[in-house]
Amino acid sequence: MSLPTPIEPVPLAPVQWRARRYAHQARVDALLAATVARRRAGVPHPVQDFLFTYYSYRPAQLRRWHPGPDLALTGATAAEFGPGYATDRTGRLVLDAGAVLARRRDTVAWLHGLLTATAGRAPQLGCFGLHEWAMVYRLEPAAVRHRALPLRLGAAGTDAVLEGAAVRCGHVDAYRFFTPAARPRNLLRPTRERQAEFEQPGCLHANMDLYKWAYKLSPLVPSELVADCFELAREIRVLDMRASPYDLGALGLAPVPVETVPGRAAYARAQRDFAARAAPLRARLAGYCARLLATTGGGTPAA
């Protein structure tokens, strides 16, 4: 079986690709050491567990190394890497990008449109993380998602913050968790069908979701890029929860009090930094989508 794509992978000797695989696995092991230990002990973590509950990629999947479409592995077998791999005309193992893309073309094209549309907008930094406040607005205590964590300002104080703010959340997967009472307070009405119209690069959740888009593209992108996106999402999630109404003191995390002027300024600075760090990752993911679509018969995607 040969690779039906004009992408010309760079050949790697066994010592080279095994070193890359080992480096990726060691990096992921270090990132996940605390998470794995907690899971074995049955100890939940309301900040970091999100990366494996909301997102569907398992630690073992994140750890597994895929070379992406740009490498040809000498001395490797398809049994080591799973479905989607083939032997090229030189006998090296390569990703059969054409076969994989044949099953995922619509998803890759949709992602290319979302990623490029988001990248083309200026970051908006005025939401101040109020989506988390909207998720507990006027809820009974038993219905709050993180019931083990107290609300810093209490239920009434939390509600008052939301009632005194202009809520402007454009992320559909944050908005869908707003309480029924909070939804009318949002100035925007994001929907799945209009997701590419609403997402913007200052949004914490849009930047966390680069991890989701990266693993959904795997193995069409290298695992190092998936890990880069995971590492960024991990950091963003900490800010996401520090700016929430929950008291995270028991976890050693100080609040970013977005109910205050200094807190909002600190949140916007962090947003700007994360937007800058997310931009090259978004560009790399969009670049892979464009190349794959163009080189496997899909034509060059529209800008």
Find the mean pLDDT for residues 156-172: 96
Question: 3-state DSSP helix/strand/coil percent for the chain, to nearest 5?
Answer: 55, 5, 40
Confidence check: pLDDT of 147 > 90:
no
| 299 pLDDT more than 50 | no
Strand partners, 72: 11
Residues near 290 by Cβ (< 8 Å), separated by ≥ 6? 112, 300, 301
Specify the 3-state DSSP secondary structure of 159.
Answer: helix
Sheet holding 85-87, edge to edge: 10-12, 71-73, 93-95, 85-87
* % of the chain surpassing 90 pLDDT: 85
State mean pLDDT over 45-68.
Answer: 94
- What is the pLDDT, as a whole number, of residue 298? 47
> Which of 37-51, 123-137, 155-169, 219-233 bottoms out in mean pLDDT, i.e. has the lowest?
37-51
Q: pTM for this structure?
A: 0.93
Q: Is the pLDDT of residue 204 over 90?
A: yes
